[in-house]
A = this chain, B = another copy of it.
Amino acid sequence: MPTIDLDSDLTVFEYPYHVRYSEVGHRGLMTAPALINAFQDCSTFQSEALGVGMAWLRNEQRAWVLTHWQIVVDRYPSLCEEIAVGTFANSFKGFTAKRNFYIKDNAGKYIARAQSSWAFIDLSTGRPTRPTPAHIDPYGSHDPLELPAEDRRVKLPDVLEQREPIIVRRGLIDTNEHVNNCQYVQMALELLPRETAPTSIRVDYRRAAVLGDTIYPSIGEIGHRAVVALNDSAGAPFAVVELA
């Protein structure tokens, strides 16, 4: 993880970053999936730095699973741009947690902000379970960043157009043996009629797809928002993605 001072306050965790060639799209700007990866990487670095990282959590047979994203992007940073990616926890309630993410430019100005919701899972049962103080106290908690008010649930449009099924290949799977959350956004972006750098992304994660699953996408619109349902063969959503 980035060099860190263990005596400093790691409950707001920030890492400096230069946008790499592999993170930009053909216009030379960071892509939305790269931005989501940067957020998730940041929280992973924080957990490791706080001593509650992936290996420790796996020994406990526990995992944090993402259930909701709301991401607002004022501007996508460009190739080689110096940015800072940060995260902090907002609250822990029952088996859930809320966490903010941000990107600041090198003048310290926010250029992207996100709110996320997580569930704590017992890996032996696959069901939510309440974290203990050992799991959550190291993170602390901070007042949430301001984000536009939205309903918790992403609404589906009345009319949805079916698209080609997607088979879950190995490259989409992460350390949890699930399709990585960033991939659902990538799938939704691929369905749009033209390349877009969305300024608002919302995702409801309902159930994780695994290797060999087939995902049935459909797409519709509500006003200027494109909504993509990524369903299983029975029509139950793995995830619903809204892009604007």
Interface residues in chain A, defined as those with a beta carbon under 8 Å from any beta carbon in chain B: 1-2, 18, 20-22, 24-28, 33, 37-38, 40-41, 44-45, 48, 53-54, 79-80, 169-171, 173-177, 180, 182, 186, 189-190, 195
Contacts and interface: CB of A to CB of B under 8 A. Distances in A.
Contacts of A20: 37, 41, 44-45
Given A45-B80, A80-B45, A18 B40 contact: no
Contact of A54 (B1, B28, B173): B28
Residue with the greatest number of chain B CB neighbours at <10 A, chosen from A80, A173, A177: A80
Given A170-B190, A177-B26, A186-B171, A18 B45 contact: yes
B190 A24 contact: no
Contacts of A53: 80
A90 to B, nearest CB: 21
- The count of identical subunits is 2
8 contacts: A2-B18, A18-B45, A20-B45, A21-B175, A22-B40, A24-B175, A170-B195, A171-B190
Contacts of A54: 28, 79
A48 B189 contact: no
Contact of A79 (B26, B28, B44): B44
B24 A37 contact: no
Nearest to A33: B171
Residue with the greatest number of chain B CB neighbours at <10 A, chosen from A24, A38, A79: A79
A170 B182 contact: no
A169 B190 contact: yes
Nearest to A190: B169
Residue with the greatest number of chain B CB neighbours at <10 A, chosen from A20, A40, A54: A20
A171 B192 CA distance: 12
A41 B26 contact: no
A91 to B, nearest CB: 23
Contacts of A28: 54, 175
